[in-house]
Structure 1
């Protein structure tokens, strides 16, 4: 009986090849960056681990090392990114069994989280403090998000054609990739994010006047050549 020869390639190199084959040009850039981040961390943790040495014990040791300075939720995400590649390794005959089976997810103590939302009192206080003049500005952006619950990237991507003034609604079908040096339109986070949002008549009337002179496909709140940072607008809100 012939004996199957398992891969002697380094684990982090196999994972990099797997990304090139299955993920490049197949997922959104922000998602792809996560895979490459995992690959770099894998190289840092186990630079000399070969595929034929990978078993449940060595895989658990990788997770344990990563868990020393990461919270449990982050370790779970790291595990999921690696797991998909190792399923394929088993299917392709590079591993004799699944090393991720019954893996234990650990993690360091969670850090104190920053509050990422406003209570009703603070929200009303914010709205009263906004400088809502006759021209579009970032305060109008904040007001729109406060009243609709739009995601940051969705609100950035708004153009006049997204506003249905007759039915008092905003049509969400795209978002703005602001994380690249040159921003661009992209799909929403997922299929269910494509939706219509009903808006009160007063806000729609205000925006009708504000964007009346803009082209249908023109970005409303900024010029497309302008670099937008989430942190900059958060600092503006905090000030």
Structure 2
């Protein structure tokens, strides 16, 4: 009977039926990871043995070694499949109802962004006279806040030097076996990013003799770790905190917020689908700015006699 099917077998069939070729490859790989965890944690759990207790125990076992947000993602995947199982009468009740999401304490993460002085120190040691290299790549992300895959997908034709902006309309799927152009993360990621005049001059010189529709920075297989290790060496040479390439994106956004740029403008520049994402990601910066604003308000009120 179908009800006697093991949970991980059902999830495997479900993701191949509903998710394969319907979501991006990188997203599908996350479903595959969830499937591997089910095989590991509940290799013998059958659909007809699912209950709120057995499902909660599954989540608790997963939460013992994962942070709460990761547990939430795992739960969302499994729950989606079980809701379909419920509609197909493969199970007679929703075992995920009133579930409690747990997780280990946040681990000590690496510093996510640089301050303005550290950023300047990093930019000062970049070598920008050798044609397209990782130094130019690092400069571009620092100045634009692009995602790693967005910067890899750039071609000379994406630059509008006359109007000083970058046209972000695709990415480079560097994780795929056969890397190629890919869609952006979401519709909001398709955007125009304004460039300062100095960056316009630097990249107009860099790209003038390059093939117009070929990626500027991709010449062979690219690995995120390779560029991160290169950036780590640069940070150590500049005697600043070590951050990742994604940390440059955080740095770009943080510096804009500290400079007084609105959350809405930063969200659009980063390609976030909504301002809530920006607010949650940069809550520490926003709270600090709010404290500064409160000081200004009190100082102003105190001056009124």
Q: TM range, normalised to the smaller chain?
A: over 0.9
Which stretch has the larger CA shift, 13-22 or 69-78? 69-78
Which stretch has the larger CA shift, 18-27 or 181-190? 181-190
Q: For residues 218 and 73 of structure 2, what CA distance do their matches in structure 1 show? A: 34
Is 1:97 the counterpart of 2:58? The answer is: no
Is the Cα–Cα contact under 8 Å of residues 171 and 197 in structure 1 kept in the other structure? Answer: yes
* 3-state SS of paired residue (1:170): strand
Is the Cα–Cα contact under 8 Å of residues 6 and 95 in structure 1 kept in the other structure? Answer: no
Per-residue deviation at 1:6?
6.8
**1:140-155 correspondence to structure 2 within 5 Å:** 140-155=136-151
Q: For residues 174 and 114 of structure 2, what CA distance do their matches in structure 1 show? A: 24
Q: For residues 10 and 222 of structure 1, what CA distance do their matches in structure 2 show? A: 44
Per-residue deviation at 1:222?
2.7
Per-residue deviation at 1:134?
5.4
Question: Which residue of structure 1 aligns with residue 18 of structure 2?
Answer: 22
Per-residue deviation at 1:55?
1.2
Q: For residues 106 and 136 of structure 1, what CA distance do their matches in structure 2 show? A: 46
Change (3 A) 1:139 1:91: same
What TM-score, normalized to structure 1?
0.94
Is 1:70 the counterpart of 2:66? The answer is: yes
**Aligned pair partner of 1:201 in 192, 197, 200:** 197
Which stretch has the larger CA shift, 161-170 or 128-137? 128-137
Question: Which residue of structure 1 aligns with residue 163 of structure 2?
Answer: 167
Question: Which residue of structure 2 aligns with residue 35 of structure 1?
Answer: 31
What TM-score, normalized to structure 2?
0.74
Change (3 A) 1:227 1:134: closer
Q: For residues 36 and 232 of structure 2, what CA distance do their matches in structure 1 show? A: 34
How many residue pairs get matched? 233
**Aligned pair partner of 1:185 in 175, 181, 186:** 181
Q: For residues 68 and 120 of structure 2, what CA distance do their matches in structure 1 show? A: 35
Per-residue deviation at 1:81?
0.8
* 3-state SS of paired residue (1:122): helix
* 3-state SS of paired residue (2:181): strand
**Aligned pair partner of 2:3 in 4, 7, 19:** 7
* 3-state SS of paired residue (2:72): helix
Is 1:79 the counterpart of 2:82? The answer is: no
Q: Which has the higher contact order (CA 8 A, sep 6+)?
A: 2
